[in-house]
Amino acid sequence: MSLAALWSPALAQSQLLESVKQNPARAKALCSQFQGFNAQGLSATSSSAVSQIARQENLSPMDSEVIITYVIGLYCPDVR
């Protein structure tokens, strides 16, 4: 296995996080969506929320979890 193959997932996640960091409007829109989940009694990190964000953003479930955690941590810490 090449080093590039090992680094590829880390690089992809880094680019994913950078895409949100460079686009605060996208992060704020996701925060609004997460607040909507909370208003419905759902955690933004619940399996149904993760699945919905994964479909919406065309992400794997794991990448969806990463982006949700990142956005909540930086942009909407009041979201649960």
Residue 66 has which token pair?
A: 């990463």
- Could you give the angle at which helices 24-39 and 3-21 cross, rounded to 10 degrees? 80
Interval 8-60: pLDDT, tens: 566 666 788 888 999 999 999 999 999 999 999 999 999 999 999 999 999 99
**pLDDT value for 7:** 45
**pLDDT value for 3:** 44
**pLDDT value for 12:** 62
The residue among 72, 39, 67 whose CA lies nearest residue 52 is 67
Residue 41 backbone class (left: φ over 0; alpha: ψ -120 to 50; beta: rest): left
